[in-house]
Structure 1
Amino acid sequence: MTQKLPVADSIPLIGSAWPMYDALPQFLHSQFLKHGPVFLIRAVGREFVVLAGVDAVNYVGSPEGKNALGSKVAFQGMIDEYGTEEALVNSDGERHAAFRAMVHKGYAREALTGRYGKVLDIIDAWLNTHWRSGFRVSAVKSLQELVIDELSVVFADMLLFDNIDHIRTQIHWATNVHLLKRWPRMSLRLPKYRRAKARMVADASRIARIFEARADAAPGGVTGARLFDDLIAACRQHPDIMTEHDLPMNLFGPFLGGMDTASNTIASILCTLARHPDYRMRVESEADHLFSAGTPDEVTLFQKTPFLQAIVKESMRLYPSVPVLMRHALRDFEFAGQRIHRGQSLMIATCVAQMSDAYFVEPTTFNPYRFIGPERIQVPAGVLAPFGRGHHLCMGKRVAEVLIPLTVARIAHRKSYELADPTYQLKKRFSYGVELAADLQLVAGCSRGG
């Protein structure tokens, strides 16, 4: 028998908006402990049903969850900004499965095969430009530029942008208006946003022309095809699924999904290493060993950096760049004894289990030894889900799992650095990675090796 949904703690007029913004993972965890796995959040005229805990995460990945949970409504506004009605991120059901099948190869870890040297060259050039001894580095802003270049090489086999200010503006403003609902829609009428959007539309057309020309020059198939080649092929071979109007959104999908999340995750790791010299020394030792034999590949990266892998995993656990999955109910269903109604807006709080002392001793303490050595724990399914869960699992997961540790390892191998403010603390704000380490400042030191 269902009961009336409990309502999360709130403040008059603004509801739960402030605690959600200031520290969403901590707020959701506290409400989970107070109300259980299903509760209601109200924030400035909006309402969300929160499904929290391991069972909620596993429900997302279940056949029942696949049929009951949709992404289209949550992401539709973002998609509309690109002049299309549907794309990988907001499609559901069979159409989503078809989208994933068309781009699976381009997003696979094999997309990095033969590109490790190029990625390292990009990191080295970036370090030589931005990390000169004594330079003060705005970590996230600088890393965003690096991530965009890395993704360009992985998915397009070429550098695509000289400047990314317009990408930052378009993604951040559209996210805050359409996805997070924190800014008024009129923000997108302002000249700064309209100029950024126009430039991104022009970029999408330019990129599409490049890869259309590659396809025209190789009617039998592009040798060494990358994701963007696959998108052009999908548009031509399956116009009922991938239309010309769908191309801009799908071409920018990797940048939209990866720029903020990867840059903030890398920045949070660099911050943590600066605050823990013992962790840093172990990572530097692994990195030096990794690169001593030349350019690594995926196998050597994971074999030679086990402590770094534990650092990455613990960073994603404690500082999730995507703490919730935004969904809507495709139909009425029951979860944990509560009735969820068709059309309701949902938050799947993946971050709650990651902060639970039921699975982690002292869960608010950064401890990479949870994932390595004699203290290593066995983590049940659904406890860690930094890339989401189920049929909407992040397509860039496999690439991110390589690029993040490879980038940290190269920085640790080549450069020393310190926090500009030794007392700096990472944020826990909800902006899909935008604000986790947005104001982190580092001071570059001397070169180490390489």
Structure 2
Amino acid sequence: MTTTTTPVVRGLPVVGNAVAMAKDPAQFFVDCYREHGPVFRVRVLGREHPVIAGPEAAEFLGTKEGRDCLRSKEFWSGLVEEYGATRTLPGEDGASHKELRDIMRRGYSREAIADRLDEVVAITDRNLDRTWTPGATVPVLRSMQELVTDQLGELLTGASRPEYVADIRRATMYILNVLVTRQRPRIVLRDPRYRRAKARVAELADKMIEDRKRPGGRPAVLIDDLLRAHRERPSAMPASDLAISVTGPYVAGLDTVANTIASFVYAVLKHPEVLARVQAEADELFARETLTEKDLRSLPAIRGALMETMRLYPIAVVQMRTATRDFTFQGHRISAGENLYVGTSVPHFLDEFFPDPMRFDIDRYEKPRAEHMQAGAYSPYGRGQHVCLGKTLADVQMMVTMARMFHRLDLRLDPPGYVLARKTTPTPGPALSFRVKVAGFRH
């Protein structure tokens, strides 16, 4: 079969494309796609990597060929090794991945949170009452990380662990930066601050497991299912894998959810017409005596604002895979063993899918437009067999949290004309410097 010569993206000596990728990864891959098409190569610190991007790549991940040709094990092996485990969900493929996914599916599902919405509201309220007081200027991302840690602890593992918040946050940041995205060298793991945080998270895992062995306590579907699998099928969930599995919600959800809802806060406050619609829906939602999952299905402004936030401010810019065998994609040869990037978020910024793509337009997702339904167009939670297991749970969590925040608080950008500064490590999101002013309580 005749193959096409794959273009190599121009870059700097030695570092190659590393600087441009780190500065704005989403824009970098979009620019490369527009110039070179769906297949190109990048150079990062002396190593060359193929990139497949755009709707073609997003669709490819969902095909049998895509599943057979690509695996994710190599990118998660460092985490598994660091924590003395045998495997972790995002690092497995095929039958092993399905086995773990089946064990955890119920705990990460929409149903795990659907009848606990009042708890989501109560956790949100106690965090708002503690930090978001009238007159305060609040660091949004840090506050959202604390809120999300509180929610995940109570909803997925059975207990809030505020005394471990700083340790969870620090360990998660090191794990993502060094062991997953590999934007920092492994020597960083010798940092005493990380070693202390890692030990504290291990202590937390032990406490969580011991607590669930006692009768009573609050519901904790995920950890209960993990412990049941350990008892009934220890080969599928050995003792060595319990710690990484029970603390997995923090690694999977802390930075991703916190970045998304912090971006939501900015985007809504930046657009007064959207703010008014979000507030009106939130006020109507909480005028009800009880909150049910069904109530969330009729919130087009809040849902649209969340979906548009995930489109414009994606946290899953690319997915990283290793080629299991030689294969050809769009006429370009990729060799077995090559580590490649899959640019699934590229279509988020293409006019042919989302007209005027840089405009924050929350009505894109309602019929008849439904722009996100075009093949390969919208991938906020990744694609293929590794699409985020907790995506439906996260949708509910984020919608309720944002509805409650905008129902209760009168917020302003600080300063009023602020333009969002962004970070790219360990995952893209608002910079820690992003703050808002609490003008007062609305309710």
* Alignment of 1:438 onto 2:432: yes
- Could you say which residue in structure 1 is the equivalent of 2:338? 344
Tell me the TM-score normalized by structure 2.
Answer: 0.96
- Could you say which residue in structure 2 is the equivalent of 1:200? 201
Q: How is 1:100-179 mapped onto 2 (pairs within 5 angstroms)?
A: 100-179=101-180
* Alignment of 1:289 onto 2:288: no
Q: Distance in 1 between matches of 2:188 and 2:434?
A: 26
CA contact (8 A) 1:261 1:432 kept: no
Letter in 2 for 1:396: G
CA contact (8 A) 1:359 1:379 kept: no
- Could you say which residue in structure 2 is the equivalent of 1:242? 237
Deviation at 1:428, TM superposition (A): 5.4
Deviation at 1:48, TM superposition (A): 2.1
State the Cα RMSD in Å.
1.8
Q: Distance in 2 between matches of 1:3 and 1:427?
A: 39
- Could you say which residue in structure 2 is the equivalent of 1:372? 366
Deviation at 1:377, TM superposition (A): 3.6
Tell me the TM-score normalized by structure 1.
Answer: 0.94
- Could you say which residue in structure 1 is the equivalent of 2:394? 400
CA contact (8 A) 2:372 2:378 kept: no
- Could you say which residue in structure 1 is the equivalent of 2:269? 274
Deviation at 1:150, TM superposition (A): 1.1
Q: Distance in 1 between matches of 2:284 and 2:431?
A: 29
What are structure 2's unaligned runs of at least 5 residues? Answer: none
- Could you say which residue in structure 2 is the equivalent of 1:230? 225
Q: Secondary structure at the match of 1:371?
A: coil
1:329 to 309, 323, 327: 323
Q: Distance in 2 between matches of 1:264 and 1:225?
A: 25
Letter in 2 for 1:197: K
Deviation at 1:440, TM superposition (A): 1.0
Letter in 2 for 1:229: D
Q: Report how many residues are paired.
A: 442
Q: Distance in 1 between matches of 2:164 and 2:99?
A: 33
Q: Secondary structure at the match of 1:105?
A: coil
Q: How is 1:346-361 mapped onto 2 (pairs within 5 angstroms)?
A: 346-361=340-355
CA deviations on 1:114-139 (whole Å, 9 max, x unpaired) are: 31111111111111111000111110
Deviation at 1:300, TM superposition (A): 0.3
Q: Distance in 1 between matches of 2:42 and 2:139?
A: 35
Structure 1 stretch displaced more, 161-170 or 285-294: 161-170
Structure 1 stretch displaced more, 310-319 or 39-48: 39-48
Q: Distance in 2 between matches of 1:247 and 1:438?
A: 32
Q: Distance in 1 between matches of 2:59 and 2:430?
A: 26
Q: Distance in 1 between matches of 2:164 and 2:133?
A: 20
Q: Secondary structure at the match of 1:368?
A: coil
Letter in 1 for 2:287: S
The sequence identity of aligned pairs, in percent, is 36
- Could you say which residue in structure 2 is the equivalent of 1:82? 83
Q: Secondary structure at the match of 1:107?
A: coil
CA contact (8 A) 2:164 2:201 kept: no
Deviation at 1:427, TM superposition (A): 4.4
Letter in 2 for 1:191: P
* Alignment of 1:253 onto 2:254: no
Deviation at 1:183, TM superposition (A): 1.6
Structure 1 stretch displaced more, 246-255 or 161-170: 161-170
Q: Distance in 1 between matches of 2:329 and 2:423?
A: 28
Q: Distance in 2 between matches of 1:39 and 1:174?
A: 29
What are structure 1's unaligned runs of at least 5 residues? Answer: none
